[in-house]
Homo-oligomer: A and B are copies of this chain.
């Protein structure tokens, strides 16, 4: 399976997040990346500018509102906003890296069942690398604020 390959590409995308919490996302169709995005919430000053939302917006320009044949790879478990957007976009398969034990839209909340969605979801892909990226971000932020 190519899941680790695409998650690695989502990780590469996450590293472009600059001052924002590093989250990356790619959408794949027929083995090809058709959209990629990273978190730009603070950069854009827009609370909805999560990686997944930006990625769906890009992909929708090509595919409209039906992404059944697509796979999404995202480095952190989507929040409820993004998870519902992924379901609304009819994404076929969702792979995520780190789990979000506070606000995870597929583990803390089961939005898939609420929506009666058929999306296939698998978490924990390159989990360690994905978690480390986020932890390092917060460590650096803390160190910066303590200076």
Contact = CB atoms under 8 A, between A and B. Distances in A.
Main secondary structure of the interface of A (DSSP, over half): helix
A31 interface: no
Interface string A67-106: 0000000000001111111001110000000000001010
A20 to B, nearest CB: 11
A60 interface: yes
Contact of A56 (B47, B60, B80): B47
Given A81-B88, A109-B114, 17 more contacts: A45-B61, A45-B65, A46-B60, A46-B61, A47-B65, A47-B85, A47-B90, A48-B53, A48-B57, A48-B89, A79-B88, A80-B80, A80-B105, A81-B82, A81-B84, A108-B114, A109-B109
